[in-house]
Structure 1
Amino acid sequence: MMELVMQKARLPALSSCLFFLLSALPLASGSPTLTEDSKCGCFVVNDTEASYFTKHKFFDFRGLTQYAGVPATITNPNDSGTAAVTSQYFTSTEWTDTWMVGNWNNSAGVRKDSSVLMVNSPNNVYIEANGDRNPTSQTFLTLRTQRLPGPPEFQTAAEIESVSGGFRYLSVRMLARTIGSPGAITALFTYRHSDKLAEVQETDLEIRTKDPRNILHYTNQPSYTEDGDDIAEATQNATMPDGLDWTAWAVHRLDWTPTTTKWYIDGQQVANNSFQTPRDASKVILNAWSDGGEWSGNMTNFDAAYLQIQWLDITWNTTDTKPAAKRDVESELGARHDVGPHGPLLARATEQGTCKTVCSIDETTNLGQPVMLWNNGAMRTAGERSSFVSWIPSAAVFALFVLSLR
């Protein structure tokens, strides 16, 4: 009799312990810890084939009020190409470690149907105060292109490109919009140069300001042959989701993996192309331009268009330096594109050894700052990590059920 009383007395205590376990589950399974890039061995992104990358950088243009100012357009093509950068931000290591501002022109005939001189000018890349009615930032980065009557008549344009040409697979996102007059292109793309058109490697997002404002173009270049014939499989045209147009702020994302390129807008996939997927190390480029050709269209004198960017978030693999370990990371990435939630985590070789610390840029609560998903040497997938904790609620409920029968 005394034993039965003691058992019943222990029941509330056991039940309390089990309910405490259940209430603590979110801490065990669903609350990754904010961390720093330097503490991450790999970065995993959601919904891509090659899920793991070794590098990450976040560029925030939203609070750079000390650099804000819109420079007057330079109207002479010679002065435009040799102009200085527009603020000290573009001489800071934050910028110059990764980016450089273009100053080349198309006088050598980059495109066969170009009808106007185009000059990329550092003067067209600047930090601008956000004058929106309900601004979501204090400032943003602007790339400007404008038609000028001359003499001589020319198109002043803007381009930024990565210092490194060693990006080999990446996930890049930008909060951006395109505004302005018809006859221009704004773009985000990877690019590997070749003197032979057929050997060019490029994947790009292009917005044509002469198009309807909800249409975008995604292409794995080249999209035409030396004879001028279109390659239909190279391009996919898409529509902005949820009734948006490209004059509205939206998060544009490219995932370049060994087998495919995928494009997203505000988290929704809008294009997926496995034809002519780039294979080799490339640059990352953003620009705003026009050359008067059939693709861009011909801007009216003094008209202008702008690519405006609040932030850029990039995680990638690189061929710039080889790891000290014996294994070749880049070849493994190419061969093992099934890693991540749908396959085993690749035990990556780095200067510090295998990739024991895995971070996410998608699950973070602080934009641009990764969270640590796990920090150990276990070969677990994200799915296995979830499965590990998923049995606990069922076990706890079953234990409560057994106790209630006693």
Structure 2
Amino acid sequence: MLSAFLLLVCCCVVSTIAARTLGSDGHVSRAVSRAKCQCYVVSGLEPGYFQYYRFWDFRSVPFDPASLKNFNFYPRIKNGTATAAHASLSAENGPSKPILLKDTPFTKDWNIQNWHRKGNEIFPVTMVNSNQNVFITKSYSTDDSTHLVLRTTRNENYSSTAEIESGVRNIFHCSLRVRFRLLSKDESILAPPLGEGIHSQHIQTIPQNIQPASLVHRNARKNPPPDGACAGIFTFNSTVSESDIEILTSDPPNRVHYANQPDYDFVTDQVIDGASIIKDIPIPWTSWATHRLDWFPDASRWYVNNQLQAMNTYGVPDDPSRLIINLWSDGGVWSGNLTVGESVYMGIESIELAYNVSGPYPIYGKGLYSSGRLAVDHLKHTQPGQKEHEALRGIFPQTKITSDTGTAKSRVCKVGCQIDNVRHDGNPEVLWGFSH
């Protein structure tokens, strides 16, 4: 395994170079912005210094098999302008049918889950994940462009649920952003039929004696989604190494739960003090907004539209992880119990990710998005107590990587790019660039 990868830059050097590359309008000049990014920084309390970057755009997906065959979900910019949605999505016609995400190249990067969990005394309702619950469509009742949708539906004997997981499972620190909203109860969208084909042995038979969740006053929308579902966005290695964004539809529509797991001690039957934060955010989750999780060595930070909402230094995950987005209901105390026949929908416009990895780098998309750059351990072996930004300070412009055989290799980030405050979402812009 490669030794620690030390990347980037003293702040004073960055600011000097950035001043030479920014145009008069505050954006990077075109000539410089075409240079290939070698590392990425983010807004906020720490810049991040990430080596890899991906953006999956669901806002203008064509609804025909020929166009979808090689569709890579990357934002399309033509002549400096973001392209509009496909012509077949006009307001008059709309899409003819939703697209199952499993039938697109997205599955080269993310895995659509089909596992099930049988009901028990703690989680009374059987959960069955289905690829029929992960699809691309468009709302008829709004002016939204196309978007990815996750769905959960309460059937008589089980909940049909949705989950996607990143193919890369050794992400080690990242900045993850998901632009989404939970659709209102009566919003009209074209959705595929349920089709789990589950067998009778998967259906739970535990008697149902769940009490309805207590009513919570909600005033952000007239028709919020039904109570009884949970939407999650999180890093995951295990139940004791996880950083979460969670939304409960039984909550007021501006309330979000942030946590580093575990946040509950089952032995003492007590909430772990300091592990979780409940926050009322300025934008309700029934409206489009970008929810962001920054996972750094010393802290997890959560943002909405790049505005910091919460930070937690307790229980920060310290294991290589995968990313998970899900929508579910199991009748338990946490999610609550959806009424039979009701559904909750989570619309997603985009997923953005800046990240590092630990160990060999499994390339996203099997080459679809490959940068071809050297795989490294990201500060995996920094000294105890040594902060990431301290380890990076003062080593710009060149770092050394020593392999297991003792061979030294030079590594330099000649072109650093920002992913926030850019002209077009999903198109990083050069913050500094030079030849050396």
TM-score (norm 1): 0.72
Post-superposition offset of 1:329: 3.7
Post-superposition offset of 1:280: 1.2
- The Cα offsets for residues 94-151 of structure 1, whole Å up to 9 and x where unpaired, read as x123201001111286xx610110111111000011334333xx200000001001xx
Match of 1:366 in 2: 424
CA contact (8 A) 2:233 2:246 kept: yes
Give the Cα–Cα distance (whole angstroms) in 1 for the partners of residues 35 and 169 of structure 2: 22
CA contact (8 A) 1:48 1:255 kept: no
Greater fraction helix: 1
CA contact (8 A) 1:188 1:285 kept: yes
Letter in 2 for 1:202: E
Give the Cα–Cα distance (whole angstroms) in 1 for the partners of residues 375 and 152 of structure 2: 48
Post-superposition offset of 1:318: 1.0
Structure 1's 329 and 175: CA in aligned 2 closer, same or farther, altered over 3 A? closer
Post-superposition offset of 1:312: 0.9
Post-superposition offset of 1:352: 7.2
- The Cα offsets for residues 218-269 of structure 1, whole Å up to 9 and x where unpaired, read as 010011123132112111001121xx31111111111110000100112211
Match of 2:388 in 1: 337
Structure 1's 300 and 88: CA in aligned 2 closer, same or farther, altered over 3 A? closer
Match of 2:273 in 1: 232
Give the Cα–Cα distance (whole angstroms) in 1 for the partners of residues 143 and 278 of structure 2: 31
Give the Cα–Cα distance (whole angstroms) in 2 for the partners of residues 277 and 102 of structure 1: 26
Which of 52, 56, 60 lines up with 2:49 in the alignment?
A: 52
Match of 1:270 in 2: 309
Letter in 2 for 1:303: E
Q: Identity of aligned pairs, percent? A: 32
Give the Cα–Cα distance (whole angstroms) in 1 for the partners of residues 21 and 327 of structure 2: 49
Match of 1:158 in 2: 162
Match of 1:127 in 2: 136
CA contact (8 A) 2:172 2:378 kept: no
CA contact (8 A) 1:33 1:373 kept: no
Give the Cα–Cα distance (whole angstroms) in 2 for the partners of residues 173 and 374 of structure 1: 23
Say which SS state the counterpart of residue 153 (structure 2) adopts: strand
Letter in 1 for 2:417: C
Say which SS state the counterpart of residue 143 (structure 2) adopts: coil
- 5 Å-filtered alignment, 1:1-400, equals 27=23, 30-33=26-29, 39-49=36-46, 51-66=48-63, 87=99, 89-93=101-105, 95-107=106-118, 113-135=122-144, 138-149=145-156, 153-179=157-183, 180-193=225-238, 200-227=240-267, 228-241=269-282, 244-321=283-360, 329-331=378-380, 335-338=386-389, 344=394, 347=398, 353-376=411-434
Post-superposition offset of 1:90: 3.0
CA contact (8 A) 1:329 1:349 kept: no
- The Cα offsets for residues 326-368 of structure 1, whole Å up to 9 and x where unpaired, read as 985433678442269x955665557872212111111321210
Say which SS state the counterpart of residue 373 (structure 1) adopts: strand
- Consecutive unaligned residues in structure 1, runs of 5 or more: 1-23, 69-85, 379-406
Letter in 2 for 1:188: I
Q: Which has the higher contact order (CA 8 A, sep 6+)?
A: 2
Letter in 2 for 1:338: H
Give the Cα–Cα distance (whole angstroms) in 1 for the partners of residues 304 and 321 of structure 2: 23
Give the Cα–Cα distance (whole angstroms) in 2 for the partners of residues 36 and 320 of structure 1: 30
Letter in 2 for 1:174: V
CA contact (8 A) 2:302 2:308 kept: yes
CA contact (8 A) 1:64 1:139 kept: yes
Structure 1's 106 and 370: CA in aligned 2 closer, same or farther, altered over 3 A? same
Match of 1:394 in 2: none
Number of residue pairs the alignment of both structures matches: 322
Structure 1's 62 and 36: CA in aligned 2 closer, same or farther, altered over 3 A? farther
Post-superposition offset of 1:27: 2.8
Give the Cα–Cα distance (whole angstroms) in 2 for the partners of residues 28 and 37 of structure 1: 17
Structure 1's 326 and 287: CA in aligned 2 closer, same or farther, altered over 3 A? closer
Give the Cα–Cα distance (whole angstroms) in 1 for the partners of residues 374 and 338 of structure 2: 53
Structure 1's 181 and 50: CA in aligned 2 closer, same or farther, altered over 3 A? same
Letter in 2 for 1:90: K
Structure 1's 205 and 26: CA in aligned 2 closer, same or farther, altered over 3 A? closer
TM-score (norm 2): 0.67
Structure 1's 326 and 205: CA in aligned 2 closer, same or farther, altered over 3 A? closer
Match of 2:215 in 1: none
Give the Cα–Cα distance (whole angstroms) in 2 for the partners of residues 50 and 67 of structure 1: 40
Say which SS state the counterpart of residue 331 (structure 2) adopts: coil
CA contact (8 A) 1:339 1:345 kept: no
Post-superposition offset of 1:286: 0.2
Post-superposition offset of 1:307: 1.4
Say which SS state the counterpart of residue 316 (structure 2) adopts: coil
Give the Cα–Cα distance (whole angstroms) in 2 for the partners of residues 206 and 56 of structure 1: 24
Give the Cα–Cα distance (whole angstroms) in 1 for the partners of residues 57 and 241 of structure 2: 28
Give the Cα–Cα distance (whole angstroms) in 1 for the partners of residues 377 and 143 of structure 2: 50
CA contact (8 A) 1:37 1:369 kept: no
